[in-house]
Structure 1
């Protein structure tokens, strides 16, 4: 028989998780977050062939700068509806609203990520969530390999006028302690919903902090990231603050990356590193990383797609600007981590270029397609570059195999459509890639000539 104390704890937990509405969330290709709000009883009918919501397919393909119906979409019939399909495995309880100063309490709301089907209930083949599932499955079926990733979430905390709350340097103790109450609340709230926080610290930019999430399977990690962003936003809003996720919100400051740490697994075993292998990697580890490196000029646009992203992918920003890999090299797009090796065997590497303006499902799908191609073709890694390129004379770059990733939007487009990157076009289909560049054209036309502060004014509230 349960004790009175256990029953009371159970009742309190049930009350804490009570909710009567559910957010149905998804990311369009412009990287913003869209949602519907529905009552719990409607959501609970999702398995009874009821249609929770139908949205125009066009909503997946809108520019970030403004809602506009663009001419000549390569994918036809975008005004037709597609059916929202909640993925209940991603369901969590989000606390929204409330104010610490006034004592107003937050309320619980369900939060779930969605994919899309056509009206005949077949999978929508340009839904980003369906695409990353297909990329995960292809890697598993071809090579019996699964991938785990962990996100490092960087963000600036601002007052309601958009000014950073402090000017402390990275890892500053005082800056961390001043925000420790809200950071601890964020960590506890995430942990209560199965999202484990590994660590939190002050980052280098003004008002910038980082929250590191634990590893998990690719799709679950994407879902955890999307939920964590809302938890972070809601908790700072309760304190009368806001956050910025823009890749480069301020001049003369380090930027907001969204670095991901990746490991590869087979039959429950991490197979990335080998202490006796070339470059301390297994053959599969080398081929996996080589595929990403080979196609990095193309996938970089999907990892860091916005005009503001281009302000971050600069040679002095530790943003993975160079098409190289290296041991602990923070300017390389791929950084092999040695500091926490197990018996001399690296267990993960870091992909540097990703940021918050990317559609996470599509970005990770492109990475997995590139990596799978590396395994398919048994690609070889070049020699690592372990020195920061800025400290190497440019006339020595060619000898060391150092090249910089595309620095203009037009060069990025050329890379995506190039023969050497045709594997991406074959997987995603040219009409989808054409559609993505159609909306990117609009955003770059609107924003490319604007200063960082002007981009901040236009974009910060959108992300």
Structure 2
């Protein structure tokens, strides 16, 4: 028994923990949970907990249903909102009965990509800016109402949104999740909380925890928290701009003090890989029909494949907050939204960048203009392409991608495509209020 496992067993006893929740995600990124009693914990560490994989979205067919959840002791945390009966959680790795990794486990998909990076000497770090909406609980789901009327960086005296962010951040910190910034975003009821840099696996676990914490705090305050990318036609949508970097030991592999942009060749090749594969990975970084309503908005929702420095209309941005600080060199990927499965999305961002490094892809010219304000002809003359305009287009491009198939593995790749085709087909059959309002009276 390793020291971390011993620590968890002692902590459960010392802190009078009554329930341990074992967490993992399905292929679409929805959290799954099973609770066990403390008496079962030692057995769970040594043998795992069996479950029916055929009942989990995208995991297995009925005749190969048996799977095992193995708790990761390094992810042990108490749940602060479960105060009456002490409750803790751990994320799990999923295996088959023979001990081999379950190919449908999103956490394993990311681990596989991280091992590929590690074999090249790299550690992959991420830092997400997570946007979300706070909504009034008394409004129906099909007619949401924002909690407030604030705008970008608005300072409001102790309103519901301010209280919410304070309580949510306090709870996140209690769970060992460090928060860097928080503020009101551009739309009414829209807020942002930025998590401090961590390795990509820890960050994907943190994002899943973040969503649970925010929804728990919201329910406790009689409001709703939503990560739907675009709940309002007339307001900007919510993204999850993610800053990424590669380190070789303690050295930031993206930094070069002699370069004008302070970017090394590795950093430039990484950006080139992100741009080259951006079309293929969009179905995963923006996996819902609604995700493309945000990308069509303009402004800070990027739809055009280009990079820039202080250019927030670009798909990939090189921040210049601290240009001479080596550890701060990073790249920001701006299309991704927080409704994605972070394990799959981060695996694809990493492998896209690594492919750029492996093939020494040249970095295209920098886009210095507001790309949204350019005409189609101007963008075309600059070699700036567009991301897929809807989920159907994104699926079609992903289907032909060797990089996505290899990264996700055959099982996840096939299931994800089938599920997303079904989602778009269902969406395409719907008659929308806009059609009824504009056409029914005239036709």
Give the superposed CA RMSD: 2.6
8 A Cα contact 1:26 1:115, kept in partner = yes
Residue 1 of structure 2 is aligned to residue 21 of structure 1 = no
For residue 350 of structure 1, give the secondary structure of its aligned residue in structure 2.
Answer: strand
Partner of 2:437: none
| CA displacement at 1:286 relative to structure 2 | 0.8
Which of 255, 260, 263 matches 1:273? Answer: 255
Report the CA distance shift for 1:310/1:79 in structure 2 as closer, same or farther (over 3 A): farther
- Between the aligned partners of 1:28 and 1:263, the Cα distance in structure 2 is 27
| CA displacement at 1:426 relative to structure 2 | 3.2
Q: Which runs of 5+ in 1 are unaligned?
A: 1-12, 63-74, 98-104, 455-463
Which of 152, 155, 163 matches 2:129? Answer: 152
Partner of 1:80: 65
Which of 44, 51, 56 matches 2:53? Answer: 56
Partner of 2:438: none
Deviation per CA, 1:233-290: give whole Å up to 9, x if none. Answer: 2122211111111011111111111121111111211121324226431011111111
Equivalence map 1:140-219=2 (5 Å): 140-141=118-119, 143-162=120-139, 163-174=145-156, 178-219=160-201
- Between the aligned partners of 1:453 and 1:357, the Cα distance in structure 2 is 24
1 or 2 for the larger relative contact order (CA 8 Å, sep ≥6)?
1
| CA displacement at 1:394 relative to structure 2 | 2.2
Report the CA distance shift for 1:368/1:343 in structure 2 as closer, same or farther (over 3 A): closer
- Between the aligned partners of 1:197 and 1:235, the Cα distance in structure 2 is 16
Residue 121 of structure 2 is aligned to residue 139 of structure 1 = no
Residue 92 of structure 2 is aligned to residue 94 of structure 1 = no
8 A Cα contact 2:109 2:347, kept in partner = yes
For residue 125 of structure 2, give the secondary structure of its aligned residue in structure 1.
Answer: strand
| CA displacement at 1:296 relative to structure 2 | 0.4
| CA displacement at 1:227 relative to structure 2 | 1.3
- Between the aligned partners of 2:204 and 2:349, the Cα distance in structure 1 is 14
Residue 298 of structure 2 is aligned to residue 301 of structure 1 = no
| CA displacement at 1:431 relative to structure 2 | 4.6
8 A Cα contact 1:303 1:355, kept in partner = yes
TM-score when scaled to structure 1? 0.84
- Between the aligned partners of 1:301 and 1:90, the Cα distance in structure 2 is 29
- Between the aligned partners of 2:27 and 2:433, the Cα distance in structure 1 is 24
| CA displacement at 1:37 relative to structure 2 | 2.1
Aligned length: 419
| CA displacement at 1:400 relative to structure 2 | 1.4
Equivalence map 1:412-427=2 (5 Å): 412-418=394-400, 421-427=401-407
Which of 20, 33, 36 matches 2:34? Answer: 36
Which of 313, 320, 325 matches 1:331? Answer: 313
Residue 90 of structure 2 is aligned to residue 116 of structure 1 = no
For residue 360 of structure 2, give the secondary structure of its aligned residue in structure 1.
Answer: coil
Which of 389, 410, 426 matches 2:371? Answer: 389
Report the CA distance shift for 1:78/1:260 in structure 2 as closer, same or farther (over 3 A): farther
Which of 404, 419, 425 matches 1:439? Answer: 419
TM-score when scaled to structure 2? 0.87
For residue 301 of structure 1, give the secondary structure of its aligned residue in structure 2.
Answer: helix
- Between the aligned partners of 2:179 and 2:410, the Cα distance in structure 1 is 39
Q: Which runs of 5+ in 2 are unaligned?
A: 1-10, 140-144, 435-443
